[in-house]
Amino acid sequence: MKLAERAQNISPSPTLAIDAKAKEMKAAGIKVISFGAGEPDFDTPQHIKDAAVEAIRAGDTKYTPVAGTPVLKQAIIRKFAQDQGLEYTPAEIVVSAGAKHSLYNAFQVLCQPGDEVILPGPYWVSYLEQIKLTGAEAKIVETTEPAGFKMTAGQLREALTPRTKLIVVNSPGNPTGSVYTREELTALGEAVLESQALVISDEIYEKLVYDGLKHVSIATLSPALKERTVLINGVSKAYAMTGWRIGYAAAPLEVARAMTNLQSHSTSNPTSIAQAAALAALEGDQAPTERMVREFVQRRDYMLERLLAIPGVTCTRPGGSFYLFPGVSSYFGRLYLGVKIQDAATLADLLLEHARVAVVPGIAFGDDRFIRLSYATSMENIQEGLDRITAFLSQVS
């Protein structure tokens, strides 16, 4: 059997491979501390779950319009107006089965073979695979730890070519937690407007920002940039609703119509019950999100302090999301029980096998000098996991 070329080009997810091995060990009765989770460990707030139950009781279990229910679209429009000062019409909003689905739709309707997509690295693993699925070429712009893992306007200008179709901006970012300031986005926006490129702005971690930082959407900086931006968001991270699978896009009308048409022939509408829950999330009590943010700050600060106390480990202070991206390259070439640590992937394997700690190697995000640790787990797990990592690294010679 010969698979289609697009299927053969998809790379398996290193994050899922680590997760699968960790689950196998847990099933065998081994206590594994996992820092791999890309989802909040908090439960979905009760008022959101109640809205879903009520939707079932009311019989809201049928097809909805492909791009989302009118009431949910209006709630999303109000959210953009209140939070970003952006105005959209219902036809410019597309609700999908998660923000990942929204991204997939956007890449599919905008990109084709011969196009280039500028992707700052380190990057979330699915960006690269989704770009590959369109036949376009990802042009990686390497950012640095001293620069906070943020692409500069100068780097963007150097990367732009007549073939550039899209530029990906992710703030707050995964895997680094980097948050672009208004000044940094303004500079990027000026470079964008010198080209014909569009922007995909992934803002799924928008509510998870710390230290008094403010989330800024590049679409807010000028009407011209708004017309060039496909804005991606969802309820998964801010409301602990990863399993509900509701994301949404705000896009120029032509793009939104194309995304809706594509979705109509793939998934059709997102789940009616989850849409009712998302409506309650956006319009209901925001206190659970605020409590979650406060807890994440405490976890981040503790984890960052512990990591920086380990000899040879470097780490920037993330301004958002719930990840740390420590540098571990000082351990490369050294030995643990006679095994040479070649890269972060080797280190992650050894940590899982011997320390019973699951981390994601940076190769999944395009830079194998780092590992990603999520602090979307309990403080008890964080403390024990860091104890194990510290003890493990102290035995590397």
Mean pLDDT of the chain: 96
The rounded percent of the chain whose pLDDT value lies above 70 is 99
DSSP 334-397: -EETTEE--SHHHHHHHIIIII-EE-EEGGGGT-TTBEEEE--S-HHHHHHHHHHHHHHHHT--
CA distance 165 to 12: 26
Q: How far apart are CA 173 and CA 114, in angstroms?
A: 27
pLDDT tens column, 308-344: 999 999 999 999 999 999 999 999 999 999 999 999 9
Q: Do residues 277 and 48 lie in contact, with contact meaning Cβ atoms separated by under 8 Å?
A: yes
In the chain the domains, ranked by start, together with CATH numbers, are 5-43+288-394 (3.90.1150.10), 62-283 (3.40.640.10)
Please give the angle made by the CA atoms of 182, 188 and 194, to the nearest 5 degrees. Answer: 135
How far, in Å, CA of 33 to CA of 381, rounded?
A: 6
Report the pLDDT value the prediction gives residue 141, as an integer from 0 to 100.
98
pLDDT value for 22:
83
Q: What is the pLDDT of residue 26?
A: 87
pLDDT value of position 182: 98
Give the pLDDT confidence of 175-230 residue by residue, as tens digits.
Answer: 999 999 999 999 999 999 999 999 999 999 999 999 999 999 999 999 999 999 99
The pTM of this model reads 0.96
For the cut 80, the answer to whether the pLDDT of residue 18 exceeds it is no
The pair of three-digit structure tokens given for residue 27, joined into one six-digit string: 């099933």
pLDDT at 12 over 80: no
Q: CA-CA distance, 175 to 327, in Å (whole number)?
A: 12
Q: Name residue 140's beta-bridge partners.
A: 119
